[in-house]
Chains A and B, each alone.
Chain A
Amino acid sequence: MTISRRGVLQGATALGATGAAFWGFAETGKNFYQGVMGSAQAKGIAGGALPPEYKVDTSTGEVILNPDQRVGYTMCMGCTSVCGIRVRVDKASGDILRATGNPYSPLSTNPHIPYDTPIKEAITGLSAYGEQGLAGRSTACGRGNAAIAKQNSKERILKPMKRVGERGSGQWKEISWDQLIEETVEGGDLFGEGNVEGLRAIRDLKTPLDPENPEYGPKANQLVVIPVFKNGRLMMAARFAKMAYGTRNFVGHRSYCGLSMRAGYAAMLDNLKKQPHLKPDYRHAKYMLFIGTAPGNAGNPYKLQGTLMGAARGRDGVKYAVVDPVLTNSQNHAFGKDNTWVPIRPGTDGALVMGMIRWIMENERYDAKFLAQPSGAAAQTAGEASWSNATHLVIDDPEHPKGGSFLRQGMVTADLEEDAQKAPMCLDAQTGELSPAKGRPATLFHQGTVRLLDGSTVPVATSLSLLRREALRKTLAEYSTDCGVPEERIISLARDFTSVGKQAAADCHGGTMHAAGFYTAYAIVMLNALVGNLNAKGGTTAGGGRFKDVQKGPRYNLLAFPGKVKVKGVDAGRGGFAYEKTSEFKRLVADGKNPYPAQAPWHSFTQPMGAQWLTSVLEGYPYKAKAVITWSSNPVYGVAGMENDVKEKIKDTKRLPLFIAIDPFINETSRFADYIVPDRVFYEAWGWASAWGGVPTKVSTARWPVVDCQTGKTPDGRHMDMDNFFIDVAKRMDLPGFGEKAIPDADGNLHPLHRSEDFWMRAGANVAFDGGAVPESDDVDMTITGVDRIRADLESTLKPDEWRRVAYVYNRGGRYEDAAKTYKGDTFARSYKKGIQVWNETVGTARNSMTGKKFAGCPTWQAPSFADGTQVDKAFPPDLWPFRVVSTKSQLRSSSTGGNPYLDDLKLSNAIAINTVDADQLSIKTGDWITVISPSNRISGQALVRKGIARGAIGIEHGYGHRELGARTHKIGKVILEGHSERGLGTNSNDLGYTDPTSKGPALLADPVVGSIARQALPARIEK
Chain B
Amino acid sequence: MPAVDLMSFDHEAVWRPWAVAYFLLVGTGASAALLLAYARLVRVAEAKGALIVAASFALASGLPLLADLHQPARFIHFYSGSAPASIMWWGSWFLPLFIASTLLLAFMTGRRGNAPMCGGERMLTMIVGALALCILGYTAGEMSVVAARPVWNTLGFPVVLILTALMSGAGATMTIDSLNGEKEEGRYMLVVTGAATLVAFGLWMLTDTNLSTLAADYAPVGLFGAFIIAGVVVPVVLAVSARASLLLRGVSGALAVFGALAFRWSTFNGAQLMSKTETAFYGHEAALSQDALQALAGSAGLLILSLIFVTLLINLLAVRASKQTQA
Which residue numbers of A lie inside 8 Å of B, CB to CB?
Answer: 10, 13-14, 16-28, 31-32, 34-36, 40-41, 46-47, 297, 326-334, 336, 888, 890-892, 906-907, 913, 916, 926, 944-948, 957
Contacts and interface: CB of A to CB of B under 8 A. Distances in A.
B61 to A, nearest CB: 13
B205 to A, nearest CB: 17
Given A35-B71, A334-B149, A17 B277 contact: no
B294 interface: yes
Contacts, number: 135
Contact of B302 (A24, A31, A329, A330): A24
A328 B147 CA distance: 19
Nearest to A11: B308
Given A20-B297, A20-B300, A329 B8 contact: yes
A297 B5 CA distance: 13
Contacts of B280: 916, 945-948
B247 to A, nearest CB: 18
Contacts of A40: 71, 73
Contact of B10 (A41, A331, A907): A907
Nearest to A14: B308
B277 A333 contact: yes
Contact of B7 (A35, A46, A891): A891
Contact of B73 (A32, A331, A333, A947): A32
Contact of A24 (B72, B73, B147, B294): B294
A334 B71 contact: no
Given A333-B210, A947-B280, 18 more contacts: A20-B298, A23-B294, A23-B301, A25-B298, A32-B66, A32-B72, A32-B73, A328-B7, A334-B149, A334-B150, A888-B7, A891-B8, A907-B8, A947-B217, A947-B278, A948-B278, A948-B280, A957-B7
Given A25-B67, A47-B74, A17 B308 contact: yes
A333 B274 contact: yes
B73 A31 contact: yes
Given A23-B294, A25-B298, A948 B304 contact: no
Contact of A19 (B217, B274, B301, B308): B301
Nearest to B66: A28
A23 to B, nearest CB: 6
A25 B277 contact: no
A564 B266 CA distance: 71
Nearest to A38: B73
Contacts of A336: 150
A47 B71 CA distance: 8
A948 B281 CA distance: 11
A31 B278 contact: no
B325 interface: no
B63 interface: yes
A18 B276 contact: no
13 contacts: A14-B305, A14-B308, A17-B302, A17-B303, A25-B302, A327-B278, A329-B7, A330-B277, A333-B210, A334-B149, A890-B8, A944-B6, A946-B280
A21 B301 contact: yes
Given A24-B295, A28-B67, A31-B72, A892 B150 contact: no
Which A-B residue pairs are the 9 nearest by beta carbons? A24-B298, A35-B73, A20-B301, A21-B301, A17-B304, A28-B67, A17-B301, A906-B9, A947-B280
Contacts of B67: 25, 27-28
B90 interface: no
Contacts of A22: 301
A892 B149 CA distance: 23
B299 interface: yes
Interface string B141-171: 0000001111001000000000000000000
A735 B66 CA distance: 70
A10 B308 contact: yes
B9 A28 contact: no
B136 to A, nearest CB: 25
B282 interface: yes
B241 interface: no
Contacts of A23: 294, 297-298, 301
B279 interface: yes
Given A31-B72, A947-B278, A13 B294 contact: no
B277 A328 contact: yes
Contacts of B70: 31
Most buried by A among B147, B153, B297: B297
Contacts of B298: 20-21, 23-25, 28
A14 B304 contact: yes
Contacts of B72: 28, 31-32, 35
Given A10-B308, A21-B302, A888-B7, A46 B148 contact: no
Given A329-B277, A948-B277, A17 B73 contact: no
Contacts of B300: 17, 20
Contacts of B153: 334
B279 A327 contact: yes
A913 B7 CA distance: 10
Contacts of B147: 334
B282 A926 contact: yes
B54 to A, nearest CB: 19
Given A333-B150, A892-B8, A913-B6, A24 B297 contact: yes
Contacts of A28: 63, 66-67, 72, 298
Given A23-B294, A35-B74, A36-B73, A946 B278 contact: yes
Nearest to B277: A331
A326 B278 CA distance: 10
Contacts of B149: 334
Nearest to A926: B282
Nearest to B210: A333
Most buried by B among A20, A892, A957: A20
Most buried by A among B6, B210, B279, B302: B6
A373 to B, nearest CB: 41
A17 B147 CA distance: 38
Contacts of A47: 71, 74
Nearest to A297: B7
A329 to B, nearest CB: 5
Nearest to B304: A17
B190 to A, nearest CB: 25
Nearest to B307: A17
A916 B280 CA distance: 9
A856 B279 CA distance: 40
A37 to B, nearest CB: 9
A333 B308 contact: no
A792 to B, nearest CB: 44
B277 A946 contact: no
Given A926-B282, A944-B6, A332 B301 contact: no
A890 to B, nearest CB: 5
Contacts of A18: 301, 305
A336 to B, nearest CB: 7
A653 B228 CA distance: 74
Contacts of A46: 74, 77
Contacts of B278: 327, 946-948
B281 to A, nearest CB: 9
B149 to A, nearest CB: 7
A34 B73 CA distance: 8
B294 A27 contact: yes
Contact of B148 (A34, A334, A888): A334
A336 B148 CA distance: 10
Nearest to B213: A333
A913 B5 CA distance: 12
Contact of A946 (B6, B8, B150): B6
Contacts of B6: 327, 913, 944, 946, 948
B82 to A, nearest CB: 13
Contacts of B301: 16-24
Most buried by A among B70, B73, B153, B300: B73
A142 to B, nearest CB: 8
B83 to A, nearest CB: 11
A27 B70 CA distance: 10
